[in-house]
Structure 1
């Protein structure tokens, strides 16, 4: 993984705009002393207002998600920081190239015909596809995605689409697009419901316990520069809830459980 100094001090140039993104999102390159890397750049000026998040705060939330991922020791979020760029201050994150999967292999989140959930996968939701065929939303049943499911519960991720789960093909798993996180209200929307209500592995609970301790100290002070005090308190409460129940959360009855579109 690259040195954060390259992201922080490298000269940032734009390569193109990602037109499918709902906010202003650009692919760029940073270069410093002969080193270079491809990045995602999301300037604050390109953020669309949302009714349930304060204006101009999505970049900070993306960085806060990285800070929490690092504090947990899970390395789920690619190297991320806040810095100035050609279109003003914004979030800059290392670009992750997904692997070209061999024939017969699938992504970590997929759609399969109903009744045909592959071995090593778990079903999330039965539905009809665009041609009214019965299908099931599934995801891989592995430790990396379990960590991501707990992480999303902690940061209250309101938009864990299948396309936000990246598989670089080397055993690692990355999550991206964390702009709508840390809301004080329960807004968890994710495609990773396969373990809902089941026991969280002890080693993950121990990591959450360490995170909770950090949120009460220096880590909490750092996050208060990025999210509100009320949101920090809510994050601590979510950690406490996971530790108390020892289980993966269940979908809320008051909020859509699956993001739309799911990919």
Structure 2
């Protein structure tokens, strides 16, 4: 019987992502590259209980899997060199001269297949547009963010994998019971949701009172699980992507 090195193999630390807010280590597990975020390296936040970010990453992954969307790479809780933490499969990304999934461009020069989110001034005072791809995989990520109440969807958290799929990473500040949605993926605001997305969300909502809810209960509070179900039901009742409803709808920095 084959074993899963992500879950069972010893983690060998290769390096650290120094730009991350929390301790984020790049490791290898029997030839498989992963990201390891030990709980002891989490930076305290005023609005999220200490030591819960790793569990929220795993909970977000479970929601993505329950939807059948595969937006989030395989993510588990396990022990590592610096204690328990989140371990997630590494995603090799496309690196070419085409625009990123989320990018900036001069105002009035939006590439084909991209949506404008807002206009602003860059660090040199030039007028630029914040844009993102009009891509079905990225749209599923935007819907997932509404469901899991993602408080920090930066542009750099949306990855175009070498396998042609779109992946989202960094879900430590998700699944709060209070409204927290901050995302750069506002290009579909006010647009109706496709029927296939609603079908998948119906499956998710029905699963929450059962096995999915039991698994989530090991990671987040009952109130947070109830809020997740309520967000799902609200989208099904009004199947339109929401508009920003706070004074800070986009995380800072945006990338």
Deviation for aligned residue 1:216: 1.8
TM-score, length of structure 2 as denominator length: 0.97
Q: Is the 2:92–2:162 Cα contact (8 Å) retained in structure 1?
A: no
Deviation for aligned residue 1:170: 3.0
Matched with 2:108 is 115
> Does residue 47 of structure 2 align to residue 52 of structure 1?
yes
Deviation for aligned residue 1:18: 1.2
Match of 1:212 among 202, 205, 208: 205
Matched with 1:69 is 64
Matched with 2:8 is 9
> Does residue 72 of structure 2 align to residue 80 of structure 1?
no
Q: Quote the Cα distance in structure 2 between the aligned partners of 1:174 and 1:26.
A: 19
CA shift in 2, pair 1:230/1:221, >3 Å: same
Q: Is the 1:4–1:79 Cα contact (8 Å) retained in structure 2?
A: no
Deviation for aligned residue 1:4: 7.7
**SS of structure 2 residue aligned to 1:11:** coil
Matched with 2:216 is 223
Moved over 4 A (4+): none
- Kindly report which structure 2 residues correspond to 1:1-263, keeping only aligned pairs within 5 A, or say none: 5-31=4-30, 36-101=31-96, 103=97, 105-253=98-246, 255-263=247-255
Q: Quote the Cα distance in structure 2 between the aligned partners of 1:201 and 1:9.
A: 39
**SS of structure 2 residue aligned to 1:207:** helix
Q: Quote the Cα distance in structure 2 between the aligned partners of 1:29 and 1:162.
A: 26
Q: Quote the Cα distance in structure 2 between the aligned partners of 1:210 and 1:46.
A: 35
- Which piece of structure 1 moves more, 164-173 or 123-132? 164-173
Aligned residues: 254
1:193-239 CA distance string (max 9 Å, x none): 00111101110011011100001211111111111000000000100
Deviation for aligned residue 1:126: 0.7
**SS of structure 1 residue aligned to 2:43:** coil
Structure 1 unaligned residues grouped into runs of 5+: none
TM-score, length of structure 1 as denominator length: 0.94
Q: Quote the Cα distance in structure 1 between the aligned partners of 2:86 and 2:228.
A: 21
Q: Quote the Cα distance in structure 2 between the aligned partners of 1:221 and 1:89.
A: 21
**SS of structure 2 residue aligned to 1:250:** coil
Deviation for aligned residue 1:6: 1.4
